[in-house]
Chains A and B, each alone.
Chain A
């Protein structure tokens, strides 16, 4: 990769098409305020990062335009993303992104909206730890393990209930079945005895005919009963699924109505949130203007101081030859130095105030618009789920009706077989005078009743076969869940300890930056606990670091993590942060970044404000300095 082409249309402050070239190595965008430095970075973000907040996306598109695009040509490949305004506050991004991993937002785009940068500048060590755990994947693996454990417990509970139910029902049916079969055997023996008896001879032929037809009817009845049992099993399985779907539907509907209520509440408050955000933006802008004014005054004073410091070394004026009043000059130099120091303090206090207002603004955005978007998103996701479940319940009803209709037919057929049975047995009535026929008839009736009971018991055994297959499936699922929990627990140990060690190793490679922040190596303890130590071994906290040290720490952490989690991503961008570092250290940081960018063959972009007193103007290619350092 030698050169990267970026084409922007209606992005940030740019309207119409603008084209820029970035080179492999360090690119410093050295331009005045509001010229479009951050707009170019925003364009890079839009085409690179798959997950940006809706507010961030909405800010990328020019406020006065409904459509825009970013085109990137890199490594002979073209990427184009289109930004389309859906509503005043919502912009959709379409097209292929350079990366599919959301982690590049935090690791490769260091700006004032970056959550890691915000955590560092807010001195929030807990939040920083949380972000680092997310970036490295530790907190995600913890979520996965917790979900797996929850699911495993559910399956184990289901397994226990179903296997106990299966064993109890099976034993009950088998006991009853063996009793019925024993009774049947006894009756069959008695019927055979009667049929062999000579006293029954006059009716024998008729009895044999009845017996033959009865056997055929028994076979047919048994077939119909097994069809009936199968249909009843299907019906009960549909009942279970339908009850489950109805319960899920109720939960989703409840969730939907709660979200709907929250949406209405948020919509009613959104105007108030927007008004407060606008007020904060006005305050931030006025502070930035003041900062710029102070910056100009500082520059003038610096130059005046340098001149006075030279003049004070002379005894006579080089132009008029008059004697130089050194006391007066020293007094003036002291006044200038005091003023410079006052202005620098003021600048720091303005910077702090800007950060605090930005954080308040972000907080309001999170409570208002961002939450509203989340709620709207969830509502949009729930709608198809609810409709799908409703359709499923309707389809269960249709299948259920069809089965019930078939059952009615089968029941009628069984009834017809039973009626014919009774007729056959009644036919023996005409032979009632013959000895034993009366008993034979009673035995036949009893046999038929017992055969029906036996068929039903076999049917129930078949029914619990389904329960058995559920038990076997659950056992298999539990075994899979157990293995997955073991696997993810191992990964958790690997990430929590080994990754920290690896990151510490990478950080040690950037030791030069640590020295600039006057911190000792290593900066991480196990499980991403931050361990900040000043030179000489004095422990310190994130909040106690200076703004410049915080900027260097943010650069250091992201450079280390980039090598670990986003090594292939071709960009690393530092927008605005460099302004927090003094000129001497900025030079060293930039030299270091240039060396890093050249060694890693990436496009490293740094924005830096160029003092400018003329009319406002937009960024041009001439403002991008490749592999040259400006301070």
Chain B
């Protein structure tokens, strides 16, 4: 069964990710002229911590 938007947000927050804040940050990265490579690095860093 798929989750509703508030359930997804709650679930992500419990895992340490605020999707609303993340969306704003990624949008800022893209709007400032950076591309998919920078978004990928940002997300990799988010998932893997200091390893990246």
Contact = CB atoms under 8 A, between A and B. Distances in A.
B31 A476 contact: no
A433 B48 CA distance: 67
Interface in A179-210: none
Given A101-B31, A137-B27, A147-B36, A487 B5 contact: yes
Tell me which of B32, B33, B43 has the highest count of chain A C-beta atoms within 10 A of its own C-beta.
B43
Interface string A130-147: 000000010011011011
Q: Is the interface of B mostly helix, strand, loop or mixed?
A: helix
A325 to B, nearest CB: 68
Interface in A470-484: 476-477, 479-481, 483-484
Contacts of A479: 15
B37 to A, nearest CB: 9
Interface in B9-35: 9, 11-12, 15, 17, 19, 22-23, 26-28, 30-33, 35
Interface in A138-172: 140-141, 143-144, 146-148, 150-151, 155
B39 A487 contact: no
Given A480-B12, A487-B8, A102 B40 contact: no
Given A103-B31, A491-B23, A483 B39 contact: no
B4 to A, nearest CB: 9
A352 interface: no
A155 B11 CA distance: 20
A227 to B, nearest CB: 26
A412 B48 CA distance: 38
B15 to A, nearest CB: 5
Contacts of A150: 40
A590 B7 CA distance: 48
A490 interface: yes
A146 B43 CA distance: 12
Given A51-B32, A51-B33, A147-B36, A487 B19 contact: yes
A357 to B, nearest CB: 27
A102 B32 CA distance: 6
Contact of A51 (B5, B9, B31, B47): B31
Nearest to B39: A147
A484 B42 CA distance: 14
B3 interface: yes
Nearest to A491: B23
A140 B12 contact: no
A484 B39 contact: no
Contacts of B36: 143, 146-147
B47 A488 contact: no
B14 to A, nearest CB: 10
Q: How large is the interface on B (under 10, 10 to 19, 20 to 34, 35 or more residues)?
A: 20 to 34
B46 to A, nearest CB: 8
A439 interface: no
A628 interface: no
Interface in A27-42: none
Nearest to A490: B5
A100 interface: yes
A148 B44 CA distance: 9
Nearest to B20: A487
A211 interface: no
Contacts of A143: 30, 35-36, 39
A144 B39 contact: yes
Contacts of B15: 476, 479-480, 483
Nearest to A473: B48
A13 to B, nearest CB: 28
A19 interface: no
Contacts of A140: 26-27, 30-31
B41 to A, nearest CB: 10
Contacts of B39: 143-144, 147
A531 B7 CA distance: 36
Contacts of B40: 147, 150-151
A194 B39 CA distance: 71
Contact of B8 (A103, A148, A155, A483): A483
Contacts of A486: 2-3, 8
Nearest to A154: B44
Contact of B17 (A50, A146, A484, A488): A484
Interface string A73-89: 00000000000000000
Nearest to B35: A143
A144 B31 contact: no
Nearest to B47: A477
B3 to A, nearest CB: 7
A483 B10 CA distance: 10
Contacts of B22: 484
A147 B44 CA distance: 10
A480 B47 contact: yes
Interface in A452-504: 476-477, 479-481, 483-484, 486-488, 490-491
A102 B5 CA distance: 28
B33 to A, nearest CB: 6
B32 A481 contact: no
Tell me which of A146, A147, A150, A155 has the highest count of chain B C-beta atoms within 10 A of its own C-beta.
A147
Given A151-B44, A481-B47, A484-B19, 4 more contacts: A144-B23, A147-B39, A486-B2, A486-B8
4 smallest beta-carbon distances between A and B, as pairs: A140-B30, A102-B31, A477-B47, A487-B19
Interface of A: 50-51, 100-103, 137, 140-141, 143-144, 146-148, 150-151, 155, 476-477, 479-481, 483-484, 486-488, 490-491
9 contacts: A101-B31, A140-B26, A143-B35, A143-B39, A144-B39, A147-B39, A480-B17, A487-B5, A490-B8
